[in-house]
Amino acid sequence: TEAHVAAVEAARPLNAFILETPEQALEMAAASDARIAKGEAGPLEGIPLAIKDLYCTRGVATTAGSRILEGFRPTYESTVTSQLWRDGAVLLGKANLDEFAMGSSNMTSAFGPVENPWKRKGDNRKLVPGGSSGGSAAAVAARCALGATGTDTGGSIRQPASFTGIVGLKPTYGRCSRWGVVAFASSLDHPGPFARTVRDSAILLRSMAGYDPKDSTSVDVPVPDYEAALTGDLRGLRIGVPKEYRLDSVPEAIDRVWQQGIEWLKQAGCEIVELSLPHTRYALPAYYVIAPAEASSNLARYDGVRYGLRQAGDQALTEMYEATRGAGFGEEVKRRIMIGTYVLSAGYYDAYYNKARKVRTLIANDFRAAWEKVDAILTPTAPSAAFAIGEKMDDPVAMYLMDVFTVTANLAGLPAISLPGGLSTDGLPLGLQLIGRAFDEETVLRVAGVLE
Residues that bind ligand GLN (CB under 6 A): 101-104, 132, 151-156, 184, 291, 403
Give the CA distances from residue 313 to residues 30, 205, 302, 308, 422, in Å, rounded to whole numbers and listed in that order: 44, 43, 14, 13, 54
Dihedral-angle region of residue 93 (phi above 0 means left; psi in -120 to 50 means alpha; beta otherwise): left
How many whole angstroms from its chain centre is CA 185? Answer: 13
| Catalytic residue of the set 52, 94, 170, 392 | 52
| Residue 400 Cβ vs ligand GLN, minimum distance, rounded to whole Å | 7
The sheet carrying 147-152 orders its strands as 17-20, 90-95, 48-52, 147-152, 190-195, 167-170, 416-423, 429-436, 376-380, 238-242, 271-275
The answer to whether 155 and 20 have CB atoms below 8 angstroms apart is no
Least distance between ligand GLN and beta carbon 193 (Å):
15
Write down the least CB distance from residue 161 to ligand GLN, Å: 12
- Catalytic: 132? yes
DSSP assignment, residue 300? G
Residue (102 or 275) nearer to ligand GLN, CB: 102
CB atoms within 10 A of CB 305: 12
Least distance (Å) from ligand GLN to the CB of residue 130? 9
Nearer to ligand GLN, 109 or 151 (CB): 151
> What is d(CA 288, CA 356) in angstroms, rounded to the nearest whole number?
9
CB of 84 to ligand GLN, least distance (A): 20
- Give strand pairing partners of 168: 194, 418
Q: Which is nearer to ligand GLN, 175 or 446 (CB)?
A: 175
Q: From the candidates 132, 177, 201, 296, which is the catalytic residue?
A: 132
- Answer for the pair 55, 81: CB distance below 8 angstroms, yes or no: yes
52 has catalytic annotation? yes
Please name every residue paired with 417 in a beta bridge, in sequence order, or none if there are none.
Answer: 169, 434
Closest separation in Å from C-beta 292 to ligand GLN: 8
Name the residue nearer to ligand GLN (CB basis): 289 or 291. Answer: 291
Distance between CA atoms of 443 and 192, rounded to whole angstroms?
A: 16
- Which of 66, 82, 136, 156 is an active site residue? 156
**Between 163 and 184, CB nearer to ligand GLN:** 184
- Which CB atom, from 102 or from 234, has the smaller least distance to ligand GLN? 102
Min dist. Cβ of residue 345 to ligand GLN (A): 21
In 3D space, the residue among 169, 211, 212, 204 whose CA is nearest the CA of residue 190 turns out to be 169
What count of Cα atoms within 13 Å lies in the side-chain half-sphere of residue 341?
8
DSSP string, 340-377: HHHHHSTTTTIIIIIHHHHHHHHHHHHHHHHTTT-SEE
What CA–CA distance (Å, rounded) separates 402 from 306? Answer: 34
Determine the Cα–Cα distance for residues 17 and 142; give it in Å rounded to an integer: 12
Taking the complex as a whole, the smallest distance from the CB of residue 80 to ligand GLN amounts, in Å, to 15
Is 207 marked active-site? no
**8 A C-beta contact, residue 141 and residue 129:** yes
C-beta neighbour count of 297 within 10 angstroms? 16
CB closer to ligand GLN, 188 vs 237 = 188
Q: Which residues belong to the active site?
A: 52, 132, 156
